Amino acid sequence: MLLPGRKTWQHYILEVIGMTLPKKTMSVREMGKLLGLKKVESYWLIHKEYFETILVAGKMRVVIESFESWYARQVKYHKVSGEAPGGLLKQESYSAGDIAEILGISEAYAYQLMKAGGVKPIFVNYWKRFPKEAFNQWYASQSRYRNADDRHRDAELEENSMSMPDMARLLDVPRSHVYSILNSERGKEMLEVIVVAERKRITKESFERWYASQTKYLKPEDQPEGVPRRHKSYADSLVKKKVRTNKGTKEVRYSDNPDYLTVDEAALQAKTSTARVYKWINAGRFPVLRISKMVTRIPRKEFEVFLEANISRK
């Protein structure tokens, strides 16, 4: 028997006892309208059990709290009006683009770096996301890749120091001479070596003290006129070097920038041919810098991550 107003006795009881259940739920139609979905698509979401539903007077209703929790952890469905999806998801995880921005690298490189670092992704609507907790643990375990705050702090250290190639260029000697200087008695005593982003650097203050204490290594501007050089110049030492490989001896062209590799150097490091390195480049396996039609440079960090990721597959 229906009561006046065509309400069932269940509706009547709910109103009498003052329950607010209807305010905590919405109809499937309301949910679909909220997301701009048609009836079939709305019931498809119900079928997937993404959020909680209940039956009220024989009709299915969506529990709003459960719906909002699902909405905040996905990015595929957007409300017609209102807040953007994925609020909690963004609080709990990073996209590869987020990581790229944090570390100042490319998005493609961020994927490779996370894989090499063992940071396992989660899949949300077919998109890879990386849990912030796992990323933070990885970040704390290394010092090569830096966020904006750490880069700012490192900038002061880098400003007051120089890399080994910087010192070689300053003295205009091959890089090997710098290591000889560091291993010498005077070098060990006077040169202060610090580590910034996993790279050894020499403080400028200690370099100046060392430089003033000797006359064997002089900057080009301090070389006396008419006196022949004692050492090969830095540039000449980088043109080509003969290197022994499994197939014999070959000439390898070296980069004058420690942060970049030539194709020859990359092939030597990967223990493969230059032809294969060019295949990797053409396939977009890692980013490259094309200085001209004949000159290609490969970022050292990104190539090392590429190698680590591929070695881990074997």
- For residue 198, what are its two tokens? 């996993």
pTM for the predicted model, two decimal places? 0.56
- pLDDT higher than 60, residue 46: yes
Residue 168 lies in a domain: yes
| 150, part of any domain | no
| Confidence check: pLDDT of 9 > 60 | no
Average pLDDT over all residues of the chain: 83
Q: Which of 89, 108, 88 is nearest to 97 (CA)?
A: 108
Q: What is the DSSP pairing of strand 93-94 with strand 296-299?
A: unpaired
Pairing of strands 241-245, 161-163: unpaired
Q: Which of 84, 102, 132 is the last residue of a domain?
A: 84
Angle of helix 107-116 relative to helix 96-103, nearest 10 degrees, comes to 100
Domain presence at residue 149: no
Q: Output the CA–CA distances (angstroms, integers) from residue 300 to 73, 96, 176, 199, 289, in the order listed.
A: 37, 20, 19, 12, 11
185: Cβ–Cβ under 8 A, 6 or more apart, which residues?
none
Strands (E), the chain: 25-27, 53-56, 59-63, 93-94, 122-124, 127-131, 161-163, 193-196, 199-203, 241-245, 248-252, 260-261, 289-290, 296-299
Look at residues 229, 249, 267 and tell me which one is the last residue of a structural domain.
Answer: 229
**Do 40 and 54 share a domain, yes or no?**
yes
Residues 62-73 have pLDDT tens digits of 999 999 989 888
pLDDT value, residue 53: 93
Q: Is 4 contained in some domain?
A: no
Residues 192 and 223 in one domain: yes
Same domain, 128 and 114: yes
Residues 45 and 15 in one domain: yes
* pLDDT score at 4: 52
Task: Show the tokens assigned to 117.
Answer: 């670092």
Model pLDDT for residues 221-240, shown as the tens digit of each residue:
888 887 777 777 766 666 55
- Is the pLDDT score of 172 beyond 50? yes
**Top-confidence range, 49-58, 294-303, 304-313:** 49-58
1 within a domain of the structure (yes/no): no
Q: Per the domain annotation, does 306 fall within a domain? A: yes
Tell whether the model's pLDDT for residue 1 goes beyond 50. Answer: no
Domain count, the chain: 4
Domain range for 278 is 239-313
Structural domain ending residue among the three candidates 57, 84, 111: 84
CATH at 31: 1.10.10
Q: Residue 162 and residue 170: Cα distance in Å, rounded?
A: 10
